[in-house]
Chain A
Amino acid sequence: MATEKMELVNINGRLERLDDAISALLESGSFHIEEGFTHGASSGYKPLNEKNPYAPLLKRFLTLCTGLECEAGGGDKSKCKLTSPEEFEQLYDKIFTHYSELERKKSELDKDIALRSEASLQTAHLKGMNEDLTRLFELEYISIRFGKLPSDNAKKLEYFDRNFFFFPFDEDMNYTYGMYVCPKNEKEEIDEIFRTLFFERTRIPDFVKGSASKAYSDLQSEIEQDKKDLELTHGQIKEISERYREELKNACERLRYLKGAYSLRRKAGVLKDKFLIKGFIPAKDKDKLTAAFKGIEGAELTFLPPDSDGGCKPPTILKNGILTRPFKMLVGMYGLPTYGGFDPTAFVAITYSLLFGIMFGDLGQGLLIVLLSIPVGKKLSKDMGGMMLRCGLCSMVFGTLYGSVFGVEDMLDPVYENIGVDFLPLRAFESTNFILFTAVGIGIFLIAVSMLINIVTSFKRHDIESAVFGCNGICGLVFYGSIVFAVVATMMLDMEVMSGAFVLFLIVIPAVCIFCRVPFTILVKYKKWKLSDTDEKMTVGGFIVENLFEMFEFVLSYISNTMSFLRVGGFVMSHAGMMLVVMTLMDGMSKIGQPIIFVIGNLFVMAMEGMIVAIQIIRLEFYEIFSRFYVSGGKEYVPTTAELLKEDI
């Protein structure tokens, strides 16, 4: 239950070999890089401030790929032997020369189609007018304007006592399309009126000739011709694309790698002609890294203990076996443990699977979850599939104990009768008290284990307050355990345990220790009596008030956390209850309807209750268990690999 052992690595070398060093660490595949320079220091290693020459090149190549409609991903960088930006420039120019002429032709055609389509759209609104457009524009004393104005404003035209006519041709949701006619010498005034009415003028291009209908059909055939030409151009572009597709893909992949690798230069610290790269590596990969650097002259690797550099915190890798590994997803959700801290994945794996099995115990439904875990693991998430597999198996085990198969509670009765086990199956509604008390018992056990974990991990961190005097430390465990023992003994076993000594030594003294945990810790550590380690002006009154509230909260949390586990028992009964509803509904159906209700009911219960149970257990894990011992704040381990560099695009 620990984290993977790491080593700090310092890589020193001559600046001209920096790219080789970066290639080597990328090859090793397990190097977690840190910044090799110091911020703000007047001397020492400085960052490299240089422009990445591959970034603009990659952009140009990607644009070219888009233009040629070929995918920029999925190439093989090893097939591209180019290295320098100049070589890439040459390749780009070679392909672009072929492509640019066709691209120019294509954009001209696109523009032409857009222009004619716009004109065609406008002319379509004028189709109601059977006049030669050219003739209209050439009239000597009359001015004509085509366009549209908001239909609301078209209503107002009749109120203007002016020398103009408006001819509407068409109308849509908001606009009326048409033309107005006015004497040329009053054109400015009439234009102004229409402008205030938000008339949007349409300029009919010179190429639109004849009547509106003829102009419209001419435009349509011209658009058709342009579209054919465009298709032809597309075909030619496609030919070029086919010819250079592989070369482009490989070049893009190579450029991505080079750009990423070059960007890592920013992580290096530079002092005169020397560079320094800092980072962490799992101790087991030390030889691999050394081997990768073997051929690089002048590069020197120094392996140090992970905590030897105060400026870099070692990253955390959770180390787990095959059985518990999928549950690291849940631990990651809460926050990674610090390097060297306690990794609770195994504890979560056991408790989560067991609690799920108890709360969702059904042999048939558990089997379905196991079967479902296979596609989920393959298609969606490997960890999720793994968790479902383990939870499904536990559900099957507890389903067998409850005698429940797809909600049919008596299907396993003959099996138990044959093998002569008379205390099984455990029926939820016949053993209510047993189930609820067991649920609380499980809660008490898990809380006590959480406290024990806290005590051990706190001692490791030399945190005396948390290990000894804290509410989850030795005093907390004694206090909580004694009260639980006293309640169980008095109420269930009829034992008289609340003697004066019991109360004084196992309840009062631990409570006082928790109350005074801060001054007691200071006393143990520094042999001094102080009420607070942060507030110098803390008064006795303030100390008592503050700690009274905290004590109240601690006691309340002991009670509420314990009672919270009642939900475990509650869900056992809820599952049985929901299946009972399904069975009752089935009874009321015809023989054809019964299997349908059975299947739908089972699927519904599985989906709804399965989801709720999964969430409730996460809640129990995070609030009732993790909160007692878990210290997060760890840094994620991100190995620098060529694949990872791609994401930086």
Chain B
Amino acid sequence: MGGNATVAKIRTVFGSALTAADYHEMTNRQSVAELCEYLKGLKRFSEVLYDVEPATVHRGYLEQLIRKESFLTYRRLVKFQQLDRGEFYKFYIKKAETVQLISFLHMYEAGLNEEYLASVPGYMTEYSRLKLFDLAACHSFDEILRVLRRTEYYKPLKRIMPKDGGEPELAAAERALRVHYYKRVLEAAKRELSEDEYKEIARLIGTDADLINYTNAYRMKKYFSFDAGQIEKRSLPFSRIGLSKMRELYSCEETEDMELLMDKTVYRNDAADQTIESRNAKARLTAVRHVIEMTSSSAAALLAYMMICDIEAANITHIIEGIRYKADLSEIEAQLAV
């Protein structure tokens, strides 16, 4: 499937990605209203924020609209050359569905079904075949499986159901959903794309998985002192730098050793005063930027660009939170991946 024009288009929209100067401007705003005003002034968000009143907008809704813009950008890009006919190019919808299901499971476990209903982005219902609103009425795992009966998420969740009739662990369910997402994307890439394109996709997914695994492993080590086996059990079985290297990482005694080990890989990061999350987001950003600049594959370019959109949305969310809680400027900037 030819997608050269899409690659060119992605590079063009990538040119208007948020810059360090934009973020600096944003972090200097005194209130969410001022930030919203600034975002309305940016061409990228002007349409989605068109009739939003900065003085009264709820910060949660603002965050949702920023994510909606990413979703609409994705739709525009895949529609440009009718690439959405291919299974692979539905990856962003699948990712959003996976995120929603994980979000639901977290809230379900905390008994916050109504809050989940409120948090579902309304635009998702137009593109997803999942009955996301129906999930809110579920009060047992069996009911959840019933709602998901005819979807691709049924099997991975059914597989982890304990034989004694109890409910599966939340971490296991989350892992199962993530593994399912990555597997489906890789399978579709193998089926529909060329060998070289598949390799690029596998590398991107490996990068994503490595950094998620590293962040989780770091937290598990730091806050729960988990051993290598426990960490690996909860990690995703994909990697760019190799699973053996990741195992080596999990078996580190201290988080400092983990950092030293990661610095010897492609994810080396010399930025000081940053949280582990922002350091990893920065490493992810570096990797995907390189792909966008170098690739000739529309699939790889799109996957990489959507990862950038997600990072930008996360950055804006950090800024909104920082402004809301009157955090120090340096504190907010330390959380950003720029």
Contacts and interface: CB of A to CB of B under 8 A. Distances in A.
Given A198-B61, A200-B58, A156 B50 contact: no
A173 B114 contact: no
A173 B68 CA distance: 14
Interface in B32-74: 50-53, 56-58, 60-61, 64
B118 A193 contact: yes
A160 interface: yes
What is the size category of the interface that chain A forms with chain B?
10 to 19
B329 interface: no
B317 to A, nearest CB: 15
A196 B58 CA distance: 9
A10 to B, nearest CB: 46
Contact of B133 (A159, A174, A196): A159
Contacts of A193: 114, 118
Contacts of A195: 58
A153 B52 contact: no
B123 A173 contact: no
Contact of A174 (B51, B58, B125): B51
A156 B121 contact: no
Given A152-B123, A174-B51, A200 B118 contact: no
B122 A198 contact: no
Contact of B122 (A155, A160, A200): A155
A323 B57 CA distance: 66
B60 A160 contact: no
Nearest to A199: B58
Contacts of A151: 122
Contacts of A155: 122, 125, 133
A150 interface: yes
A155 B124 CA distance: 12
Interface in B106-126: 114-115, 117-123, 125
A312 interface: no
B229 to A, nearest CB: 40
A188 interface: no
B122 to A, nearest CB: 2
A198 B50 contact: no
Given A151-B122, A159-B134, A160-B117, 19 more contacts: A150-B61, A152-B121, A152-B122, A152-B123, A156-B122, A156-B133, A159-B117, A159-B136, A159-B137, A173-B50, A174-B50, A174-B52, A195-B58, A196-B114, A196-B115, A196-B119, A197-B118, A198-B61, A198-B64
A562 B190 CA distance: 58
A162 to B, nearest CB: 8
* Chain A interface, DSSP helix/strand/loop, else mixed: mixed
A175 interface: yes
Contacts of B133: 155-156, 159
B172 to A, nearest CB: 28
Contacts of A152: 121-123, 125
A287 interface: no
B117 A198 contact: no
A153 B118 contact: yes
B42 to A, nearest CB: 18
Nearest to A150: B61
Interface in A577-591: none
A536 interface: no
B100 to A, nearest CB: 13
Closest 5 CB pairs of A and B: A152-B122, A196-B118, A198-B61, A198-B58, A200-B56
A151 B125 CA distance: 12
Interface of B: 50-53, 56-58, 60-61, 64, 114-115, 117-123, 125, 133-134, 136-137
A197 B115 CA distance: 9
Contacts of A174: 50-52
10 contacts: A152-B123, A153-B118, A155-B122, A156-B118, A156-B120, A160-B117, A196-B115, A198-B60, A200-B57, A200-B58
A148 to B, nearest CB: 9
A156 B132 CA distance: 10
Contacts of B117: 156, 159-160
Interface in A167-183: 172-175
A155 to B, nearest CB: 6
A172 B120 CA distance: 21
B125 to A, nearest CB: 7
B80 to A, nearest CB: 23
Of A150, A195, A200, most B-chain CB atoms within 10 Å: A150
A547 to B, nearest CB: 39
A99 to B, nearest CB: 30
B56 to A, nearest CB: 5
A153 B122 contact: yes
A156, A195, A197 — most chain B CB neighbours (10 Å): A156
Contacts of B122: 150-153, 155-156
Contacts of B119: 196
Contacts of B125: 152, 155
A150 B115 CA distance: 16
B136 to A, nearest CB: 6
Nearest to B136: A159
A159 B147 CA distance: 15
Nearest to B123: A152
A154 to B, nearest CB: 8
Interface in A190-207: 193, 195-198, 200
B131 to A, nearest CB: 10
Interface string A120-154: 00000000000000000000000000000011110
A156 B137 CA distance: 12
A43 to B, nearest CB: 42
Contacts of A173: 50-51
A152 B119 CA distance: 11
A322 B122 CA distance: 73
Nearest to A200: B56
A174 B61 CA distance: 11
A198 B136 CA distance: 18
A197 B120 CA distance: 10
A198 to B, nearest CB: 4
A151 B57 CA distance: 14
A151 B51 CA distance: 12
A174 B72 CA distance: 14
A122 to B, nearest CB: 11
Interface string A270-296: 000000000000000000000000000
A177 to B, nearest CB: 11
A198 B63 CA distance: 11
A200 B60 CA distance: 12
Contacts of B118: 153, 156, 193, 196-197
B12 to A, nearest CB: 26
Contacts of A156: 117-118, 120, 122, 133
Nearest to B48: A174
B103 to A, nearest CB: 14
A193 B64 CA distance: 17
Contacts of B61: 150, 198
Contacts of B121: 152
